Chains A and B, each alone.
Chain A
Amino acid sequence: MAENIIELVNITRKYEKFTAVDSLNLSIRKGEIFGLLGPNGAGKSTTILMIMGLTEPTSGIVTVCGINSTTNPIRVKKIVGYLPEDVGFYDDMTGLENLKFTAMLNGCSERESIQKAEQMLEKVGLIEVAYKKTGKYSRGMRQRLGLADVLIKNPQIIILDEPTLGIDPKGIHEFLDLIVSLSKMDGITVLFSSHHLHYVQQVCDRVGLFVGGRLLADGDIRTLSGKLFNGTPLVIEVGLESLNRTDGSVFTADWLKGVIKAVKGVKSVSANNNRFYIDCEEEITSLVAKAIVDSGAGLCYLNTREYGLDDIYNRYFEGGV
């Protein structure tokens, strides 16, 4: 187990009557890519602001690399790069000048800043437009410039708030690849928030699920689905040729239960839309198939699937908790 680089202990943040973040405990390990996943208004951005020391928690302690963010934000901001949601630049300055300004705010001399800015622009692939005003940049270019802006201070941690918003799918792909490769190359811890579960699933080592200011669960996707679906990470979907039996009665979930009674690891059986769903604890598809075929029913469709973030999402966010 690597050391925890970000620790949130019992964080609560209240705005007058509204509680944005409610007794949150979260720790992020060094070098991992952590995804904060949740619908809008779940408290993701507030959590990030508290990690950066830009807002104070009502109660609880946030530490980044052992430094308390609330009482010592300057030291935290030296080692953490933060790309805000919908980042903005000074439109009448060139990309290079914008980066130079950030570098100088981080205590570099002018010569050093220009060097670093050029390096970063090279890294994110914007060197051709370095001397173009940022007002003329496209959305994807601005986002990449934002990444350069975050990296220019040589951070140990980068925090990206909704970095995929408003870029086209190809752009998102490139952007995420860039983040992953940079993070792996320099050993940077990455924390990013999103409500785009697919992208989170693609790149994150671990995921934290936020709903209504609370962290529902955290872990990698597999443990998460295990946690959320009570030890039934697999579903077997079964389809029959015809639901009508030769004696006129109908195949039901209870019938199926009886058929696969002997198979170990079945948790529950349900029927929906001419399909049967078997929640099970382990991989038992072949046994189930055999049992059904042996019973004489015409098996025509069999599918095993793991719960993905999609299901987690549907179950917990859209269904309302």
Chain B
Amino acid sequence: MNNSNNNLKSFMFSISGFLKAIDSRIFSQNKDKKYEPFRVIVNKEIADHVTSWRFVILNSIIVLTCLGSVFSVMSGLRGAVKTGNSGNAFFFLQMFTLSDGTLPSFIVFISFLGPLLGISMGFDAINSEQNKGTLSRIMAQPIHRDYVINAKFTAALTVVGIMILALALLVMGIGILTLGVPPTPEEFIRIIIFVMLSVLYVAFWLNLSIFFSVKFRQPATSAMAGIATWLFLSVFYPLIIEIVTKPMTPSATSSTAQVLNFEKMKIALMRFLPSQLFSDATTTLLIPTVRSLGPFTMEQVQGAIPGPLPLGQSILLVWPQVTGLIAITVLCFIFSYVSFMRREIRSR
């Protein structure tokens, strides 16, 4: 009895020692540490984001909606566990992709709210500093000019990354607790890749809105420009495609090749959309049974054994989408970088 008590005590001591070590690493030691100016700006930006009302509001919207959708799916999944239908592969991933009809699924929410998050975190990155008169003061410090824009981007992306990762892990935790089914390593990796993709997708919108914030002096204008782009891409562009392609719709009597070409063209047009790239990529990753993203004929399916794709194959399938997303993100960043570097920084 005494022995176990001692064990407990020494265990508690080791925990408190560990906590103290962490504490001193984070708080005391750093006071004498000299940081790179870049780190200084990033730290300040992260602090600004995390303490801002804007982020708190957006964060709660996203967390609440996503958790809502997960909970609504959960009851159905629990039923499946009880009746023993959970045997099919990648049961755990369904938490992210399934919808019970009342609320859209987790990935739909992320693809819908991600852009909003990106836009709201970047639309006043540069112009508000300029309007406050702080930009020229910061520029007079011994730092490179691009530190400012790079640090803004890095800080916002760090915050978004941590937030989405935490959300995904939270959902996984809820899944484990309520379903009693742990994710397999492959499922875990798929979820982590999904998180990285989401961050990349948000990064695209973040860069776009930073670009607007460099271009427009008024934060309101740049926010409007960002939201307008988002609305156009998510609502009007698909509508326009629909209208344009409607007259070209092949009739019931046309050949398979014609129908196939038409469908291919339509998909190709849709793939100009970042959101389309994102949803293609995420569905393939989180629903491993998706084997192709384009149209295919019955001939092609014949003889195929239905079953999930291995991780490597899924990634291979979405590789073009991922590359496309990276490309537009980098492109947006280059545009904002160049126009920021060329700008003459005057006081407000």
Contacts and interface: CB of A to CB of B under 8 A. Distances in A.
Interface of A: 45, 49, 52, 54-55, 74-75, 77-78, 80-82, 84-91, 101-102, 104-112, 146, 149, 153, 161
Nearest to B37: A105
Given A107-B37, A109-B31, 16 more contacts: A45-B346, A54-B139, A74-B143, A77-B141, A84-B133, A84-B137, A88-B134, A104-B37, A105-B142, A105-B143, A106-B142, A107-B34, A110-B31, A110-B33, A146-B137, A161-B347
A258 to B, nearest CB: 58
Given A105-B41, A109-B33, A91 B132 contact: yes
Contacts of B140: 52, 54, 77, 80-82, 84
A49 B344 contact: yes
A105 B136 CA distance: 14
Contacts of B143: 74, 77, 105
Contacts of B30: 110
B268 interface: no
B348 interface: yes
Contacts of B41: 105
A109 B346 CA distance: 29
B32 A110 contact: yes
* SS class, residues of chain B in contact with chain A: loop
Interface in B4-63: 30-35, 37, 40-41, 44
Given A84-B136, A90-B132, A110-B30, A105 B348 contact: no
Contacts of B35: 104, 109
* SS class, residues of chain A in contact with chain B: mixed
A105 B32 CA distance: 14
Interface of B: 30-35, 37, 40-41, 44, 132-134, 136-144, 344-348
Contacts of A112: 32
A247 B37 CA distance: 85
B134 A89 contact: yes
Nearest to B28: A111
A152 B318 CA distance: 53
12 contacts: A54-B140, A77-B142, A78-B142, A84-B347, A86-B347, A88-B134, A89-B134, A102-B137, A104-B40, A105-B142, A109-B31, A110-B30
A75 B143 CA distance: 9
B219 to A, nearest CB: 15
Contact of B345 (A54, A101, A102): A54
A274 B99 CA distance: 97
Nearest to A162: B347
Given A102-B141, A110-B31, A49 B37 contact: no
Nearest to A81: B140
B28 to A, nearest CB: 10
A111 B138 contact: no
Contact of A105 (B138, B344, B347): B138
Point out which of A54, A86, A153 has the most chain B C-beta atoms below 10 A from its C-beta: A54
Contacts of B33: 109-110
B132 A88 contact: yes
A64 to B, nearest CB: 13
Nearest to A15: B344
A248 B136 CA distance: 69
Contact of A55 (B141, B344, B348): B344
B159 to A, nearest CB: 17
A112 to B, nearest CB: 8
A87 B133 contact: yes
**Closest 8 A/B residue pairs (Cβ):** A88-B133, A82-B140, A84-B347, A84-B136, A88-B132, A77-B142, A105-B141, A78-B142
B348 A86 contact: yes
A300 to B, nearest CB: 52
A102 B139 CA distance: 11
Contacts of B138: 105
B50 to A, nearest CB: 13
Contacts of A107: 34, 37, 142
Nearest to B129: A88
